[in-house]
Structure formats: C-alpha cells, structure tokens
Amino acid sequence: MNQQALDAIEQILNYKFSNRKLLSQAFYHSSSVEDRAMSNERLEFLGDAVLGAVICQRLFEKFPQYLEGDLTKIKSSLVSRRICAKVIKKLGLQEYLKVGKGMNGSMALSGSLAAGLFEALVAAIYIDGGFEAAKKFILDGFEPMISQADAAQAHGNYKSLLQQYAQQQFNITPTYSVLDEKGPDHNKCFEVEAVMADRHFPSAWGNNKKEAEQKAARIALIELGVLPKSPDE
C-alpha cells in the first residue's frame, strides 16, 4: 500500500502508527496475497478478542445496575459483524481494502470483509499503541450505539428502543398499524407492522397487540441495522 493511502487512512483513524507495516497488513484480505500469513486474518483473530474486552468493560461501567444476563444481551447486539461493518462503512475505509480478482464489487466488501477489516484495525492499533489506543478507536465508533443499548434493549423493550433510535436519527416517532386479526374475541391474534414516515417494515404476529407491536419493533430494528439477526433467522 502506498504512502499516500496510508496517510489518508491514518487521518481517518485519527491515529498515527509507529509501525506502518501493521496498518498496511490490516487492509490485505487473504484473497489478495499468496501467503495467508501475510493477510489480515491473524490480526482479525486478535482484534475480535480486544473488541470484546473493550465493549465488556464499557458496558460494565455504564450499566452498574445490570446483571450478567442483561449485559450479555447488550454485548451480543453490539459485538456483531454487522455492527463492525457498519462502523467501517461510516468511516469510508472499505475502499482501501485489498481483495483478490473477482471480489471487487462483491457484497461481502460491505459485510463480512468490512467487519474483518475493523477487527484487524483494532488489533493493529492495539499492537502498535496499546490497549488504551485500541479502546479509543473502538469507542469512537461504538459509543453512539452503546448509548442506545439501554434497559429497553436489555429487557427486550424493542418499542422503546425503536422510538429512541427514530427520534435521535430521524426526529420522528414510529407508529404501529394492525393489518389483520384472527381467532375468537377471547383469544385473538394480531398482525402488526411498524411504520416510520413512509417506510413500512415487515409485519409480525402476536397473541395480543402489545406482543405483536414488540415483535414488529424488533423486526424494524433489525432492518435498520440496529440489532443483529439471531442465528436461526
């Protein structure tokens, strides 16, 4: 990678490397090198562990009232490849990633490969500048999302979380529409969709309106990239 590109990347990262070889290596996907040991795979492995440690520490400090289960739920929603990729795209760093022929323009560049790049950068900064430098880089990207990961998310109050997100990001309040209902009056099921401005999200069924609205809000949060899909979805 040329010096001009490295200069631009350091400016985006707001961090200057002592060892620029680490920075350069973070941007080489295994498909772009003959020796996979020269790619960013090993850095990605270490970066994943450092990311987890930083996020756990931050949640531990930010939510002293939460028990282990609550903290685990929040961490799971944050430390995902989708969120890592989202941070990289926001920084505009995926364009510097080196990949093999045929992979340019691949959807993976904005997904799993971008997520791997984020973790590799975390490791590169950690090795070059220590834990505090890596922590700063991670929290600069994650703090807005950590701020949203409050009790609403920890306890599955997806309606509250969607409302908070919609008001902060778009200055609007989501609404809910009942699309269908089935069953006798004493045992009805409801189909509900979440609506934000002119955007209608996929609907969800629930045993009552409240449950259906919560499920619909969760679907909207996944569609918006705020929450990750569960493994079985």
Task: Tell me if 47 sits within 8 A of 41, measured CB to CB.
Answer: no
Q: Which of 7, 35, 48, 140 is catalytic?
A: 48
* Phi, psi for 6 (deg, rounded to 5): -65, -40
Can 48 be counted among the known catalytic residues? Answer: yes
Can 143 be counted among the known catalytic residues? Answer: no
Q: Which of 44, 119, 193, 213 is catalytic?
A: 119
Active-site residues: which are they?
A: 48, 119
